[in-house]
Amino acid sequence: MTSNRKQLHLNAFVMPNGHHEAAWRHPSTDPHRAATLKHYVDIARTAERGKLDSLFLADGVALWGNVRYNSHTLFEPLTLLSALAGATERIGLIATASTTYNEPYHLARKFASLDHLSGGRAGWNIVTSAGEDEARNFNRDARPSHALRYERATEFVEVAKKLWDSWADDAAVIDKASGVYADTDLIHPIDHDGPHFQVRGPLNIPRPVQGHPLLVQAGSSETGKEYAARFAEAVFTAQQTFAEGKAFYDDVKGRLANYGRSPEEIKILPGISPILGRTEAEAKEREAELNALITPAYGVRQLSTMLDHDLTPYPLDGPLPDVGTFTEGAQSRFELVTGLARRENLTIRQLIERLAGGRGHRVFAGTAAQVADQLEHWFTEGAADGFNIMPPTLPGGLEDFVDLVVPELRRRGLFRTEYTATTLRGHYGLARPVNRTTVTTVKEHAA
């Protein structure tokens, strides 16, 4: 069944035990199994069974949060997604990697490698590593400033694109008879010489199947949005209300023209953590059951990190103290959290509960039809091109979504019943980038 309606896009955001901070304590999860490849293979296959566009792994290069109470990451995303490449056929595989503590040659190459291994299914969530702890693992006392991180991220992606384009698409001739493996006239050094990077190239792997892996971004500050408008093809974002979501959507889409891009060239995917029940009451009960497992000490630590402000000295049942204005770290999350506390006049404990489901992302408890209503509303009213699905528990929360919400979206003609493309770009309806630096030519030896 194909629909005439515009189709929405779905990404599964995978965390070991799910997105609710107490997920690992829930009776339905098995945190020991979450430390094995099998667990992720099952999740990836469930997402693929639902014909989701992609799955996504977040990342940080330091121990996140307070591991006494939870574990957010475990496997390094590029290694885990490579392992999943062989266990899946169609679903896109999006890995987070930092531009602040990596070298473009390594990352360009690893993403090219994953793209080839998966037959064109690699995506890169570009992050600038807002954490102070991350700097200390890489020969620094403190993180570089927000502005400097984005400056480096800009040059980083430019270098990566040049590296992916350092082989023409048809450079690998592989002519056994003549003994020509690759046409070296179609492979060029990039000779990049910039303020942050000096990279000669060429890359040591042919141009990715997709040309470039899908470029994803999740910064929501002014600089972050400008960066997204310039480079990103998909944007993850945390938006609490439809009005905010709509404003963000229009804002980012409106910036694309400045970079000679059309609004369709970027897909905006707000996050939602759907807590599902057969009835609304059952869904609310599940939510309460998860919230009852929250460890407040963990929440205070998380909140302190988000706000870059130590909240441990303040009473849990008192108001959020004055945390000043944003200085460093993740600007958009700072504003979302302080905005929420102010708007609803929440105590620290209440704020922690509101954030426990999705660290600032929207949590919605309801029936499959109610969740589908939400998605349809945001999608049809121009606040989203699709969604970043953040199951409260895993694998159960994703199974529920695929078995209950996906069929409902299909009944409404909003979501595919079969994959129509083989690549991640194909799923999102995005073009394969033309190679602007190493142009294919008709060669004599082909005659």
Ligand X SMILES: Cc1cc2nc3c(=O)[nH]c(=O)nc-3n(C[C@H](O)[C@H](O)[C@H](O)COP(=O)(O)O)c2cc1C
Give whichever of 27 and 260 is closer to its own copies, judged by the CB atom: 27
Distant-in-sequence, close-in-space partners of 414: CB < 8 Å, separation ≥ 6: 3, 5, 7, 8, 372, 375, 376, 379
What's the full length of the chain, in residues? 447
Q: Does 199 bind its own copies (CB under 8 A)?
A: yes
Q: How many CB atoms within 10 Å of residue 304?
A: 17
Q: Does 156 bind ligand X (CB under 6 A)?
A: no
One residue of 181, 241, 342, 382 binding its own copies per CB under 8 A: 181
Q: Does 71 bind ligand X (CB under 6 A)?
A: no
The candidate with the shortest Cα–Cα distance to 429, out of 206, 273, 262, 274, is: 262
Smallest gap, in angstroms, from Cβ of residue 147 to its own copies?
21
Smallest gap, in angstroms, from Cβ of residue 218 to ligand X?
3
Q: Is the peptide bond before 395 cis (omega within 30 degrees of 0)?
A: yes
One residue of 29, 54, 71, 96 binding ligand X per CB under 6 A: 96
Distances (CA, A) of 213 to 114, 302, 432: 9, 32, 9
Of 283-302, binders to its own copies (CB under 8 A) are: 293, 295
**Token output for 12:** 């599964």
Query: Which 8-state DSSP code applies to residue 145?
Result: P
Give whichever of 143 and 162 is closer to ligand X, judged by the CB atom: 143
Q: Does 200 bind its own copies (CB under 8 A)?
A: yes
User: How many chain residues bind its own copies (CB under 8 A)?
Assistant: 75
Binding residue per annotation — 71?
Answer: no
Binding residue per annotation — 96?
Answer: yes
Residue nearest to ligand X according to CB distances in the complex:
224
Q: Does 128 bind ligand X (CB under 6 A)?
A: yes
Q: Pick the piece of the chain touching its own copies (CB under 8 A) from 73-81, 299-307, 319-327, 361-369.
A: 73-81
Of 268-297, binders to ligand X (CB under 6 A) are: 271
The candidate with the shortest Cα–Cα distance to 305, out of 3, 21, 87, is: 21
Q: Does 240 bind ligand X (CB under 6 A)?
A: no
Give whichever of 270 and 426 is closer to ligand X, judged by the CB atom: 270
Give whichever of 165 and 428 is closer to ligand X, judged by the CB atom: 428
Q: Long-range contacts: 108-111, Cβ < 8 Å, 24+?
A: 108/159, 108/160, 108/163, 108/164, 108/203, 109/163, 109/203, 109/204, 109/205, 110/78, 111/78, 111/160, 111/208, 111/213
Binding residue per annotation — 250?
Answer: no
State phi, psi for 363 to the nearest 5 degrees.
Answer: -110, 135
> Which of ligand X, its own copies, none does 66 bind, CB closer than 5 to 8 A by kind?
its own copies
Binding residue per annotation — 150?
Answer: yes
Q: Which residues pair with 9 in a beta bridge?
A: 386
Residue indicated by tokens 């460093």: 328
Q: Pick the piece of the chain touching ligand X (CB under 6 A) from 203-211, 212-220, 259-267, 297-305.
A: 212-220
Q: Does 256 bind its own copies (CB under 8 A)?
A: no
Binding residue per annotation — 221?
Answer: yes
Q: Does 37 bind its own copies (CB under 8 A)?
A: yes
Smallest gap, in angstroms, from Cβ of residue 191 to its own copies?
9
Give whichever of 63 and 173 is closer to ligand X, judged by the CB atom: 63
One residue of 6, 106, 377, 443 binding its own copies per CB under 8 A: 106
Residue 45 in 3-state DSSP?
Answer: helix
Residue 92 CA to residue 53 CA, distance in Å, equals 6
Smallest gap, in angstroms, from Cβ of residue 157 to its own copies?
16
Q: Does 100 bind ligand X (CB under 6 A)?
A: no
The candidate with the shortest Cα–Cα distance to 166, out of 195, 198, 194, 205, is: 205
Name the binding residues for FMN. 59, 96, 146, 150, 220-221
